Amino acid sequence: MMMPLLNRPLHLRLCAGGRSVLPSRLTRFDTGAAFWVGVGLFFVHLVVANAVAEQASLAGDPVKTVQADVDAQSTVAYLLMHQRENGAFGPLGHQHTDLAWNYPAVHALILLGEQIPRPEDCFRNGQDALYKRPGSHNTNFAWDIYQRAQLAVCLNHRGEEGLNLADEWTLQYQDREGRYYFRIPDNLIKKRVAPFCDIPTLAYWVEAIVTSGGQIRNPEMALEFLSARQLPNGAFVDAYRPEDVIENDAHIVATAQAVFVIRSLSQELRRRNECVAWLQSCQDETGGFRWHPHRKSPSNKPDVWYTWAAVRALAYRDAKPSDVNACLHWLNSLQNPDGGFGDRPGWNSRLYSTYYAVHALDILNSDAGGARSAITRKRAVAIQKVVPEGKYQIYQASLKIPPGGPEMVEAARKLRLNFLGVKDNSPNTPAVPVSVPLGYIREKGYPMDVVSIPEQYGHQLKWVGGHPANHVANFFRPLGDSPEVKDFLSRIDEAGRRGLPWQEYAEQVIHPVIQRGSLFYPELDYEMMNAYIVYDDGLEEGFGYNAVIGGLGWPIWDWIRMFPYRERWVGKLPIIVDADAHGEIAKWLEPLDRQRVLYLARSYELPHFLQACREGRTVCVIRGGENKEEIAFYGDPAVVEYVKNHQNDWQWW
């Protein structure tokens, strides 16, 4: 059933009083228009499918075409198939029903006019978050607090998010100072103090409190913070300091979140017309929105999150995209044969990208049936990989394992590891040159290879906006000690320690290392807005990071669940395991037994491992849960299916 408009929570409609913010002539579909939109999208999907097929054919492997007629009901079916026996929603192929998957599914279904099956069970069993488990480094994240408030409102439990957000709160700025996490301690929450360090954390707090019926005691703090980060052109920069506010670092999400804060506080937006014009300028010829109108960056491409942020922010200012029909068309092009929506055309569906698309469509078509009528009926086409039987063997890898000689090699061999990335500078561990285990492996004739991958603790950089960062560099060191190798490593180390801005760091440090044959990844990406930039810059042979940590060698283990936005790059970048050794092999057996990277290749050596990473034939396997009973697989769906069907060939436990 369609929830009556006036009974739907205000934040679900994003229009005061439920009134339309878009003229009907720009948003209403008649039968003929819907037909031509459907035809156009069919060709969009064919173009995307051909691009995917070309990429998959690099390995000489076959592909298969999947197509289906899809519409709004297909989206409903896609969302509902994520509901678990406990009533909450979780990602397909996984056992958990964490909040970061439950909330977007619930919100999207409500926007489509659906009643949530077993809503009380859904609310009670869909609030888990892995970072709250024992052994985690953190206890509270602002984005999680935001989701808790939103879920409570969606399921008619406003103010029951467990944090007393309906009370009066005081905003408090805290300098993150480049720390590993921005910590939100429980003692501040008990005092009704909302600490923030940047525009995203400020926006999450303010929207969570206001949505829950609470009040902000000192709104002037938010306004002063934002005012110092607005450009003359109306855009906002998520800047560390006011002196870091430069036009090239303006961001569509930071700008949208600033609008959300100001709207939630019932304040007036400075430079309103300029801000609206800047947001509109981020729309490109496809109809989707980039994060910046003209920044030269591989990551600066239309994305469903950017489009959702822009559409929502514009609606708050009684405005709309410059080309509404193109935006509707582009959003529809994200729908896949399974009924869900991807982050970009041709990308796999996931719950959050589906929610973003549905919500944006609902706003754009608010006066003509909302999201349900905005999702056109069309033929969706997808090209999927096929892993041929018998072509590859399944090998196993782990990175940043403890250093050592024969004893380390034998322990790794018992764990069925083939490719070892050794953390030479593991704390509290005797230094052992990588030549020692490599020589032993060759002497024994073991099907194993080993490289050096010390953690580059001295590397520092500044993310977009000037935010200082560390724990940003892990890569394979070239073998040998020739003058050329020594000179190369010296230049990389010197540049890495200078605290360069992101783009300069990527060009001077990351790109040269990758060109020599290596993965290059950070331990921490700091924040979702930043992660989209630094990983997307590594797609399509760009200059950014070319791998994402899925498993880390510390309790909680699963860093996709720890930072759910990393799910976005599953199947796009290799999801790797970083054992992060802090001791000798005997001390680090538990992490090594918990997680692994499987790679499908013709042989086990470094070149074959890297080729498997480039061609999408890797799967991160994590044994979570107290008794290692929760098995998670992260990789291209076809490759995941293949390794599951051949589990007897690789299972190490």
Residues 653, 258: Cα–Cα separation, whole Å: 49
3-state secondary structure 198-242: CHHHHHHHHHHHHHCCCEECCHHHHHHHHHCCECCCCCECCCCCH
Q: Is the pLDDT of residue 30 over 90?
A: no
Model pTM score = 0.92
Q: Is the pLDDT of residue 47 over 50?
A: no
What integer pLDDT is reported at residue 587 of this predicted model? 94
pLDDT > 70: percent of the chain: 91
Q: How high does pLDDT run on average in the chain? A: 92
Strands (E), 112-268: 168-173, 193-196, 215-216
Q: Is the pLDDT of residue 22 over 60?
A: no
Token couple for 150:
């939103």
In b/e form, how buried is each residue of 562-593, taking b as 16+ CB within 10 angstroms? Answer: bbbbbbbbbbbbbbbbbbbbbebbeebeebbe
pLDDT > 90: percent of the chain: 86
- Tell me the average pLDDT across 175-183: 91
| pLDDT band for position 193 (cuts 50, 70, 90) | very high
Q: What structural domains does the chain harbor? A: 142-281 (no CATH), 393-455+519-650 (3.20.20)
Which range among 30-44, 91-105, 444-458, 470-484 shows the weakest confidence by mean pLDDT? 30-44
Render pLDDT for 469-521 as a digit per residue (tens, 0 to 9). Answer: 999 999 999 877 899 999 999 999 999 999 999 999 999 999 999 999 999 99
- Tell me the average pLDDT across 450-458: 96
- Tell me the average pLDDT across 440-445: 98
Type of residue at 458:
G
Token couple for 485:
């190798």
297: Cβ–Cβ under 8 A, 6 or more apart, which residues?
Answer: 503, 533, 537
Residues 644, 639: Cα–Cα separation, whole Å: 9
What integer pLDDT is reported at residue 32 of this predicted model? 40
Q: Is the pLDDT of residue 172 over 80?
A: yes
Q: Are 587 and 402 in contact (CB under 8 A)?
A: yes
What integer pLDDT is reported at residue 368 of this predicted model? 95
What integer pLDDT is reported at residue 5 of this predicted model? 30
| pLDDT band for position 88 (cuts 50, 70, 90) | very high
Type of residue at 634:
Y
- Tell me the average pLDDT across 550-566: 95
Residues 56, 48: Cα–Cα separation, whole Å: 12
Q: Is the pLDDT of residue 42 over 80?
A: no
What integer pLDDT is reported at residue 35 of this predicted model? 39
Q: Is the pLDDT of residue 230 over 90?
A: yes
Helix (H) or strand (E) holding 1: none
What integer pLDDT is reported at residue 137 of this predicted model? 78
Instruction: Give CA torsion, residues 331, 151, 309, 358, to 10 deg.
Output: 10
Type of residue at 601:
A
What integer pLDDT is reported at residue 134 of this predicted model? 82
Q: Is the pLDDT of residue 411 over 90?
A: yes
Q: Is the pLDDT of residue 15 over 90?
A: no
Render pLDDT for 249-273 as a digit per residue (tens, 0 to 9). Answer: 999 999 999 999 999 999 999 999 9
| pLDDT band for position 57 (cuts 50, 70, 90) | low
Q: Is the pLDDT of residue 415 over 90?
A: yes
Sheet of strand 193-196, all strands in order from the earlier edge strand to the far edge? 193-196, 168-173, 215-216
Render pLDDT for 271-300 as a digit per residue (tens, 0 to 9). Answer: 999 999 999 999 999 999 999 999 999 999
Helices (H), 338-463: 351-364, 370-374, 406-414, 435-444
What integer pLDDT is reported at residue 16 of this predicted model? 32
What integer pLDDT is reported at residue 39 of this predicted model? 47
What integer pLDDT is reported at residue 471 of this predicted model? 96
What integer pLDDT is reported at residue 406 of this predicted model? 98
Residues 59, 635: Cα–Cα separation, whole Å: 17
What integer pLDDT is reported at residue 139 of this predicted model? 77
Q: Are 307 and 288 in contact (CB under 8 A)?
A: yes
Q: Is the pLDDT of residue 9 over 80?
A: no
- Tell me the average pLDDT across 624-639: 96
Q: Is the pLDDT of residue 325 over 80?
A: yes
- Tell me the average pLDDT across 16-35: 34
Residues 288, 295: Cα–Cα separation, whole Å: 16
What integer pLDDT is reported at residue 138 of this predicted model? 77
Q: Greater confidence, 35 or 103?
A: 103
What integer pLDDT is reported at residue 37 of this predicted model? 46
